[in-house]
Amino acid sequence: MRGRKLFGSASRRLKLTLASSMAAALCAGAVAAAPAQAQVANPYAKGPNPTEASVTATTGPFAVTTSNISSLVSGFGGGRLYYPTATNQGTYGAIALSPGFTAGWSSIDWLGPRLASFGFVVIGIETNSRYDYPPSRGQQLLAALDWAVEDSPAASRIDPTRLAVGGHSMGGGGSLEAASDRPSLKAVLPLAPWNSDKSWNEVQVPTMIIGGESDTIASVGSHSTPFYNSLSGEKAFLELNNASHFFPQSPNNLVAKMAISWAKRWVDNDTRYSQFLCPGPSGGLFSEVQAYQQTCPF
């Protein structure tokens, strides 16, 4: 009797040991498999991991090709095209940008090669008339995107599902018009935007507004702030300390950093750039930042 009990006890211990070993092996396998399932590569992410130094550098990781756009194109007044030279990076998102009232593309043309060098096709437009108001500029931005996708030298490199708009002053107001008319856009970048329409609650496209504290033409109180407050989608608003209406007309590392990061996050779905948006730049003594708001996390 005693021998059978001992044998039975040993048998149970052996079964328990085997069961525990199998469970541990299964758990180990599940743990080993989990990272492979969780880490889904982003096909749109391009370039090395970003750093503060890289996003404020005057050029990004990609060489850029530049060409003129004829004034004979349909829907807008021509301009300048910038796109990465590399052909082994898959397709790129495209961003159309408009200058402000009475201004030409040359007034903000530093933005073209800077954005393109981070992996975007950029269409810097000339408007049909330098006196066009925001609704017209919005339509011209969309026409520029359509031309870029269908007929531009970079057409084969553009992903038509990843398009964005932006601009300065009435061009910035026009970018809001474009987002209202085409909700499939991925991002909007209004700089010191001006528009007589103050409410954009129909716009759900992720929008980053950058305004100047000392802007007397499109004051943040009567333009950028009500625009931002009315937007329905993901959004951010950077107010630059003591900046005038014309801050976009000079190269600015902070403006570039925020515009690049916003485009990367929403056009390329690249969350590596969220670190520059959330919580974002902070103000302080001698800071370039007057205020920053956002709807993080992105």
Respond yes or no: is residue 199 known to be catalytic: no
- Active-site position among 245, 261, 268, 270: 245
Active site residue 245: yes
- Residue 215 is a catalytic residue: yes
Among 132, 146, 159, 215, the active-site one is 215
Alpha carbon distance 67, 103 (integer Å): 20
The residue type of 121 is V
Q: Which of 117, 136, 169, 180 is catalytic?
A: 169
Active site amino acids: 169, 215, 245
